[in-house]
Amino acid sequence: KSMGHCSVEHTKYYYSIVPRMSEILENKSGAGFEELVPEVMNDEIW
């Protein structure tokens, strides 16, 4: 599960509708970002 969704694909949908969401989460959470969203790579673009 990712962010409480049944699949990573559902989570990716939210990232696709909110520009820079992963960057914002990473900046706010620091090293904890990988624990929140381990499937998302820093250079991954959707």
Q: In whole angstroms, what is the distance from residue 6 CA to residue 25 CA?
A: 20
Contact 8, 1 (CB under 8 A): no
**Residues 6 or more apart in contact with residue 37 via CB below 8 angstroms:** 2, 3, 11, 22, 25
CA 23 from centroid of its chain's CA atoms: 8
**6 or 5, greater pLDDT:** 6
The whole model's pTM is what? 0.38
**28 or 46, greater pLDDT:** 28
Q: Read off the pLDDT of residues 6-42 as tens digits, 9 standing for 90 and up.
A: 777 877 787 778 778 778 877 887 777 677 666 655 5
Neighbours of 22 (CB within 10 A): 20
- What is the predicted pLDDT for the residue at 38? 66
